[in-house]
Amino acid sequence: MLQEQHCTTIPGNHMKGDNQTWLLSESSGFASARAAAVPAGALLPTLVATCIAISCVRRLMNTRKNSRAKSLITAHSSTTDVSGKASEENSVATASSSTTDVEKTAQSPTSTCPVSGTPYSVFGQGMKKWIIFVVSVSALISPFGATTFLPALNVVSDVLGITRTEANISITTYMIAQAIAPAFIGTLSDNSGRRLSFILCFIIFIIGNIGLALQTNYAALLVLRMVQAVGCTAAVALTFAVVADLTTSAERGKYMGYAGAGILAGPALGPTIGGLLAQYLGWRSIFWFLAIFSGALLVLFIFFFPETCRKVVGNGSIPPTGVNRSVLSCIQQRKLSKQQFDYDGTKTVKSPGQKVAFPNPLVALSILFEKESGIMLLYNGLFFTGMMVTITSIPDLFEQAYGFNELEIGLCYIANGAGSFLSSLTMGHVVDWNFRRHAKSIGMPIIKGKQQDLSNFPIERLRLQVVIPGHIIGIIGLLMFGWTVHFRTHLVGPEIALFVTGFGVATAFNITNGLLLDLHRDRAAASTAAGNFARCLMSAGGSAAILPMCRAMNPGWAFTSFALVYVLLIAVVLWVMRDGMRWRQELEEKKRVKREEAENNRNTSPV
């Protein structure tokens, strides 16, 4: 049985070149503090879950009911208007037909594309923001699982008797599992609903964290980190899928920003929380905290989270059944069972006796082989790797350069998270503004709550126009970080670099994920899972390579190497901006031909 030791490093010695480390046995007071790790760690998630649950009850009982009632009133009034004006419309139909033809000819083809007459979602704006806030909080388990452990890497390597490079391998195995799992969870979510997938992820994550808190050897660390990754990784894919369920392309930018804010703030909050826990309660308390936090989320989702998957509930007007119903939904359905609501025509799989669809990972992987999507996934994965190699290298580089302990290392991540958070809150509005600007220039109407036809709309160009500034900012941040750490400047230098890197990478990350949702609205979770697959595999390789690269050359040249790759990636962005719409139209034409051939084969086959 291994005995844990608390590692305290004297900061000044590393600056002088003295790398001595003192391993101090734990005092009785410190041991008693560690024994209180579980109840102390339970306080924060319990308070958060309580506040969320209270507010969720009020909003779900009032906002959703009001939005559905409004939908009913709209349907009734539109029927009355149509019947009352039928004779008037018939009398002027001939006179207006020629004028309509002239107007259609003068406008862009996109401007005459039909817009669905029913609401894209029956959830009101307030309810949409609430649901996305909840899933954004739940998505914190993904960056928390990856980053709360980082400040304790040095202590864990000493306790388990392994090298720092071997400790970093636990990050690599985590990311490999993180790459594969969403391909299964994503397709399950697209076919059987978001609620079931969220609940399964929370249960697996809880099991993995309890095992990590109790394990005592390196092999168990690697295996249980993979179990932990399976449980938390799909949270990101499910979060963005919920955004696609609720929002149209015209408003998706800001909601992607809201959803991404939690995901990208995690790399700052995670190491800070992990550093505090490791410093004062021991590194095992990190995993107890994660288990309790995810347990609180599990209770929240079972009781209060509504189903949003469009294949299950359409635009939200179809009552869910079975596991897709929350406890609160059951109460609501009793009150609303006799009402009828507008339905947007989305095909559903809502049979009361339906079976859970078996997840097919090939659906997500097939997206990798589509020309436009594959190129964007490659770009998204490579660029996100820049952030991962940065935050992965911080514990080792900052301990050597500045002699920081676990808590001080954890606090250094705040700058990166602040940059990411600022980007998420601001750049989404810029994306939506750019959408409206392009739509106005070609005469395409934007109706609030209605999805636009994007078949002849250059969605790639307008999304990626905002990506390019973020891309350049991210490159500058990587260069600054590598060289400021190499020359051991004042800590302000690397912290500014981390802020700049976080802002640039978050901008490109959120917008390209939003573009993938625009391209695959019917397979939202699967497309995000494909992105997760590419992103995590590349990040796993980068995380394993960064420390050997820093030792072989130096941090400055190591991060310059990544920056040079990203300079070349700008050409990829420009390529998709130019040819993306044509590729999308060609793919849609191929799919249409295949559907027609399949239909003809069914019609001509003998009975």
User: What pLDDT score was predicted for residue 343?
Assistant: 45
Q: What is the DSSP letter of 36?
A: T
| Angle at alpha carbon of residue 382, lines to 379 and 386, rounded to 5° | 130
Q: Does residue 403 contact residue 11 with C-beta atoms inside 8 Å?
A: yes
**Rounded distance between C-alpha atoms, residue 234 and residue 180, angstroms:** 10
Residue range 208-217: mean pLDDT, rounded: 91
Question: Percent of the chain scored above 90 by pLDDT?
Answer: 22
Whether 407 is covered by a domain: the verdict is yes
Q: CA of 424: how far to CAs of 258, 280, 510, 549, in Å? A: 6, 32, 7, 31
Residue range 292-312: mean pLDDT, rounded: 90
**Which of 101-110, 295-304, 586-595 is predicted least confidently?**
101-110
1 exposure class (CB count in 10 Å sphere: 0-12, 13-18, 19+): exposed
Model confidence pLDDT, tens digit, residues 430-440: 998 998 888 88
User: What pLDDT score was predicted for residue 606?
Assistant: 60
pLDDT class of 326 with cuts at 50, 70, 90 = confident
Helices (H), 123-216: 125-138, 141-147, 153-160, 164-192, 194-214
Model confidence pLDDT, tens digit, residues 149-199: 888 888 888 888 888 778 878 887 887 888 888 888 877 888 888 898 999
Model confidence pLDDT, tens digit, residues 453-467: 778 888 899 899 999
Residue located via tokens 């939908």: 71
User: What pLDDT score was predicted for residue 334?
Assistant: 65
For 106, residues 6+ apart whose C-beta sits below 8 A from its C-beta are none
Whether 356 is covered by a domain: the verdict is no
**What 3-state DSSP class applies to 359?**
coil
Q: Does residue 578 contact residue 427 with C-beta atoms inside 8 Å?
A: no
Diameter of the chain measured on Cα atoms: 94
Which of 200-209, 524-533, 596-605 is predicted most confidently?
A: 200-209
Q: Is pLDDT at 209 greater than 90 in this prediction? A: yes
User: What pLDDT score was predicted for residue 356?
Assistant: 55
Whose CA is closest to 204, among 183, 234, 180, 246?
A: 234
**Rounded distance between C-alpha atoms, residue 140 and residue 145, angstroms:** 8
DSSP, residue by residue, 407-456:
HHHHHTTHHHHHHHHHHHHHHHHHHHHHHHHHHHHTT----TT-PPP-TT
pLDDT class of 357 with cuts at 50, 70, 90 = low
Amino acid found at 240: F
Please report how the helices 492-519 and 414-441 are oriented relative to each other, as an axis angle in degrees rounded to 10. Answer: 40
Whether 36 is covered by a domain: the verdict is no
Residue range 536-553: mean pLDDT, rounded: 86
| Cα dihedral across residues 439, 110, 456, 117: positive or negative | positive
Residue range 318-332: mean pLDDT, rounded: 77
Helices (H), 283-413: 284-304, 310-313, 327-336, 361-367, 371-402, 406-411
Q: What is the DSSP letter of 8?
A: E
Compute how many other C-beta atoms are within 10 angstroms of the C-beta atom of residue 163.
9
User: What pLDDT score was predicted for residue 605?
Assistant: 65
Model confidence pLDDT, tens digit, residues 548-568: 999 999 999 999 999 999 999
Whether 116 is covered by a domain: the verdict is no
User: What pLDDT score was predicted for residue 21?
Assistant: 34
**Rounded distance between C-alpha atoms, residue 532 and residue 367, angstroms:** 12
Instruction: Say how many domains are in the chain.
Output: 1
Q: Is pLDDT at 106 greater than 70 in this prediction? A: no
Residue range 395-403: mean pLDDT, rounded: 88
User: What pLDDT score was predicted for residue 358?
Assistant: 58
Q: Is pLDDT at 23 greater than 80 in this prediction? A: no
User: What pLDDT score was predicted for residue 10?
Assistant: 34
Q: What is the DSSP letter of 283?
A: T
Whose CA is closest to 208, among 240, 181, 246?
A: 181
Whether 590 is covered by a domain: the verdict is yes
Q: Does residue 4 contact residue 215 with C-beta atoms inside 8 Å?
A: no
What is the span of the domain harbouring residue 493?
A: 44-60+121-338+363-596
Whether 189 is covered by a domain: the verdict is yes
Model confidence pLDDT, tens digit, residues 64-78: 444 444 444 444 444
Model confidence pLDDT, tens digit, residues 240-292: 889 888 888 888 888 888 887 777 777 778 888 988 898 889 889 999 999 99
Q: CA of 290: how far to CAs of 43, 55, 179, 210, in Å? A: 12, 23, 20, 9
Model confidence pLDDT, tens digit, residues 469-521: 999 999 999 999 999 999 999 999 999 999 999 999 989 988 998 898 888 87
Whether 243 is covered by a domain: the verdict is yes
Q: Can you give the CATH number for the domain in which 156 is found?
A: 1.20.1250.20
Question: Percent of the chain scored above 70 by pLDDT?
Answer: 75
Q: Is pLDDT at 139 greater than 70 in this prediction? A: yes
DSSP, residue by residue, 492-515:
HHHHHHHHHHHHHHHHHHHHHHHH
Whose CA is closest to 408, among 546, 274, 290, 265?
A: 274
**Rounded distance between C-alpha atoms, residue 358 and residue 190, angstroms:** 11
| Per-residue 3-state assignment (H helix, E strand, C coil) for 554-588 | CHHHHHHHHHHHHHHHHHHHHHHHHHHHHHHHHHH
Whether 74 is covered by a domain: the verdict is no
User: What pLDDT score was predicted for residue 103?
Assistant: 36
- Rg (Cα) of the chain, in Å, rounded? 26
Between strands 6-8 and 22-24, the pairing is antiparallel
